[in-house]
Homo-oligomer: A and B are copies of this chain.
Amino acid sequence: MLRRGFQMAVIHGHHGTLPGATHLLPRFNPASAFGSSTESLVSRFCQEMTKTKNYALPNASWGPDMLSLYHEFLEKTKTDGWVRVPSFRSNRDHIQGFKLPLELSANSDKSDWRLFTRCIEREGQGYEYVIFFQPSEKKSVCLFQPGPCLEGVPGFAHGGSLAALIDETFSKTAYLSGEGLLTLNFNIRFKNLIPLGSLAVLNVNVEKIEDQKMYLSCVTQSRDQQTVYAKASGTFLQMQLEEESSQQ
């Protein structure tokens, strides 16, 4: 019984009926009310918001490597079609006006939610990262500078902190490339440790989209590409969001 879950929800296309798990299963709706081209996904998801802090902008903690590569990619947003993906306090800010295929009423009254990869407010202490997305090629690059609060082996980033950021970059890339919204599985092979405070570059590609699933890969390496830190792959579930019936 417990094997049923995300994947069964795709196959059957409706909420499951497992006792105690009905609010956990995603619902796939093939007759969604809005267009889902990459262009429309990007324009909706990546809009800048004046009232909401964008954490994907440079701050004083960014080192020279992080800054210079950031400006290289910023140039590409003007000439090569790349998009800088904004990063807000919560995914709620990205999907305003749309509802998730999950029943969240029991958990929706708190104001202290934070996206895990933005959980540490103080600049430079935790995750510093920015994602750039290339819509026509369905790929992303994430610049990652781990702070001292992401430690695993003394002096180096915790493997789990890299895994979580790859999952997050996968997630944003999968959604923008075709509404891949939930991680089904994730695999990572570690090659070398990332020194805290240094720059690691995550190169993410959508490998294929098949049967409402998206398959992504990631190579994480140093800027000069001489050191591979990790290789990862992940599968995401496609789910179209529905517009809220009473939009403001």
Contact = CB atoms under 8 A, between A and B. Distances in A.
A25 B188 CA distance: 18
Contacts of A49: none
Contact of A190 (B182, B187, B192): B182
A164 interface: yes
B110 A148 contact: yes
Contacts of A195: 23-24, 106-107
A243 interface: no
Contacts of A95: 154
Interface residues of A, number: 75
Given A120-B119, A150-B116, A191 B160 contact: no
B193 A154 contact: no
Contacts of A212: none
A178 interface: no
A226 to B, nearest CB: 5
A59 interface: no
A21 interface: yes
A113 B151 CA distance: 6
Contacts of A18: 227
Contact of A155 (B104, B115, B183, B188): B104
A117 B158 contact: yes
In this complex, the member of A155, A156, A226 whose beta carbon has the largest number of chain B beta carbons within 10 angstroms is: A155
Interface string A144-187: 00001111111111111101111110010000000001111111
A188 B189 contact: no
Nearest to A222: B20
A5 interface: yes
Given A160-B163, A160-B168, A102 B153 contact: yes
Contacts of A196: 107, 113
Interface of A: 2-3, 5-6, 18-21, 23-25, 90-92, 95, 100, 102, 104, 106-108, 110, 112-117, 119-120, 125-126, 148-161, 163-168, 171, 181-193, 195-197, 221-222, 224, 226-228
13 contacts: A5-B192, A20-B222, A91-B151, A91-B153, A107-B156, A108-B154, A114-B149, A116-B161, A153-B181, A158-B164, A163-B163, A184-B189, A185-B188
